[in-house]
Amino acid sequence: MQEARVPGGRLTPKSRISVTTRRNLVAAFTLILICGAILLSLATRLTPYVRNQAVTTFNERFQSDVHLDVLQVSAFPRPEVTGGGLQLRHNGRTDVPPLIKIDTYGASAGLFGLFSSPVRLRTVELSGLEISIPPGGMRHVDAENGLGANPPRSQPSGDPQTPARFTIDRLVSRAARLEIIPRERGKLPRTFEIHDLVMLRVGHGDGSEFEATLTNPTPKGLIQTRGTFGPWNGAEPRLTQVKGDYVFTNANLNTIKGIAGTLSSTGSYSGALERIDVKGETNAPDFSIDVAGQPVPLETRFHAIVDGTNGNTWLEDVQARLAETVIVAKGAVVRTEDVKGRKITLDVTIADGRIEDVLKLAVKAERPLMTGGIRLDTRFVLPAGDQDVVDKLQLAGTFKLDRARFTNVNVQEKINTLSHRGKGQPNGEGPGVVSNLSGRFTLKNASLNFTDLTFSVPGAVVALAGTFDLKRETIDFSGHLLLDASLAETTTGMKAVLARIAQPLFSRKGGGSKLPIRISGPFSKPEFGLDVKRALTPGD
């Protein structure tokens, strides 16, 4: 290429620009090569530095042996850290899964952030995060009733934090798993699938803010939570602090065999992992037990202590409303057997409830079989296992009904007749209201057994014992009918004459009559009658 010249041999401005451009390009290319060499050299030097800082941080903060397959720092076109195969084994333990396991990770960082102390990463994205909380929490469980001697007590951290070598502005994991490993060998871990986890300011001494969405295994449903976690207690992970709020939505109670409905809950929590104080509310507008299949609105307010290292829960106070009936409970939900699930043990009280609300859970009848007030105290035990709730539920307690009436016309007519005849008014009219109906009961293997069951109507008292089969909805009771009147006063005509002849067999001390009776058959239409065999047995 020939240069343009003017007369006299000088270069024109056009030619001078071309030369300048070429010189600038050469200078720029040279600068790029130099910068690239510098960045390559920096990346080469940064990789072992950042790796060493990472391994030291994990070792100090998590009291763990660190295994790290790959960590690579690149400085071009922008600084970033990538790698994978990270495992942390708490205290070097190999008898349990790693405390933390990460398949792959990637992080963005400023160049000065990689050289700073602590190393500062802007954003870290994790893939294949698995967290396995080692056994801890309660040391003693009462094997007889499944109640822990006491919930774990809150303890001070006692873990002085060394200065952080690594900080992360924002950590993101889209698919993670949290497992809580039971202390007893052979038992299944409690697993939570964490779909979205975002943590801010990781590595700072005052803990990290977080948001997460996870699946609760039983009952199955989504939990959304946000709060603060940490700082991590490396010496005692179970003493790491956590605080936040949660929303539990659309939990499917059908995942618990034997019950049905949809549950929602909101609340707050705070404390160490082994002693999390939880306060909240639940709402199940269509709660039902399969044996009856009748939806009943159930609302609760509760205060509980949860051991986050094994999932055991101590219910300090539960206030439940079943339709119009208030139920108060206290107890524990703990794992004590080598079977799936947990054993629930509660002390339950109903001070002023409605019998029709309770019966809807146990009886299929469209209308409540009885109405009236109820008072109840019982020990409630629901063992772990896959059986239906009605098959494994155990109850033992006492109850009393106030001013009860049967909604079944045939049953109530018999009660009315019994009352009139007991008063010596066989042709009397008006309803007979059942009062002072009380007794003791136990429930096991879907069979409700009553002892000391008594009730009275004007003119008569009934004393019974027997069983109610919840699945077949049949009853079989036997006992005595105590009448204020003599047999002759309970009837008219020729029957009254025969009754006077039989009266010595059924005389009652202090006057009146005592008859052995049996009540049996379907609960919706039972048969009342004289127990002839017992009536003819001397001394009965």
pLDDT of amino acid 32: 52
Dmax of the chain from CA atoms?
Answer: 161
What are the two backbone dihedrals, phi and then psi, of residue 416, each rounded to the nearest 5 degrees?
A: -60, -45
What type of residue is 151? P
Nearest to 328 by CA among 303, 364, 359: 303
195, 175 Cβ separation under 8 angstroms: yes
pLDDT of amino acid 246: 94
Q: How far is CA 230 from CA 133, 152, 227, 236, 244, in A?
A: 14, 19, 10, 12, 12
Supply 209's token pair.
Answer: 């803010």
pLDDT of amino acid 85: 93
Of all residues in the chain, the percent with pLDDT exceeding 70 is 76
Rounded to whole angstroms, how far apart are CA atoms 516 and 299?
A: 44
C-alpha neighbours within 13 Å on the C-beta side of residue 90: 20
Q: How far is CA 522 from CA 141, 380, 475, in A?
A: 43, 26, 6
pLDDT of amino acid 185: 65
| DSSP letters spanning 287-352 | EEETTT---EEEEEEEEEEE-TTT--EEEEEEEEEETTEEEEEEEEEE--SSSSS-EEEEEEEEEE
Placement of tokens 């396995």 in the chain: 132
> Reduced to 3 states, what is the DSSP secondary structure of residue 16?
helix
What type of residue is 360? K
Rounded to whole angstroms, how far apart are CA atoms 248 and 105?
A: 30
What type of residue is 459? G
Rounded to whole angstroms, how far apart are CA atoms 526 and 438?
A: 19
Rounded to whole angstroms, how far apart are CA atoms 251 and 263?
A: 5
> Reduced to 3 states, what is the DSSP secondary structure of residue 69?
strand
DSSP classification of residue 104: E
> Reduced to 3 states, what is the DSSP secondary structure of residue 357?
helix
Placement of tokens 């009352």 in the chain: 419
- How many residues appear in the chain? 540
Enumerate residues 6+ apart whose C-beta is below 8 A from 157. 233, 236, 239, 241
pLDDT of amino acid 94: 84
Nearest to 181 by CA among 95, 248, 242: 95
Which residues is 348 bridged to in the sheet?
A: 329, 378
Which residues is 502 bridged to in the sheet?
A: none
Nearest to 102 by CA among 85, 124, 123: 85
Enumerate residues 6+ apart whose C-beta is below 8 A from 203. 57, 118, 164, 166, 167, 168
pLDDT of amino acid 140: 36
pLDDT of amino acid 432: 57
Enumerate residues 6+ apart whose C-beta is below 8 A from 125. 105, 106, 107, 172, 173
pLDDT of amino acid 406: 74
For the chain, the helix, strand and coil percentages under 3-state DSSP, each to the nearest 5: 20, 50, 30
pLDDT of amino acid 428: 64
pLDDT of amino acid 292: 76
Rounded to whole angstroms, how far apart are CA atoms 397 and 346?
A: 12
Domain ranges of the chain: 408-535
Give the model confidence (pLDDT) of 142-179 as tens digits.
434 444 445 665 555 444 455 667 788 999 998 898 88
pLDDT tens, N- to C-terminus, the chain (540 residues): 444 555 555 555 555 556 666 656 655 555 554 454 444 445 566 778 778 888 888 887 788 889 999 988 877 677 788 899 999 988 888 888 898 999 999 988 876 767 677 788 899 999 999 988 776 533 333 434 444 445 665 555 444 455 667 788 999 998 898 887 766 666 667 778 888 899 999 887 788 999 999 888 778 888 999 999 988 887 777 788 899 999 998 888 887 777 888 999 999 999 988 889 999 999 999 988 877 788 889 999 999 998 877 778 888 999 999 989 999 999 988 876 556 677 888 999 999 999 888 888 877 777 777 888 999 999 999 888 778 888 888 999 999 988 777 776 666 677 777 766 666 776 666 655 666 788 999 999 989 899 988 887 777 788 889 999 988 888 899 988 888 777 777 777 777 667 677 777 777 777 777 888 888 888 777 787 777 677 666 555
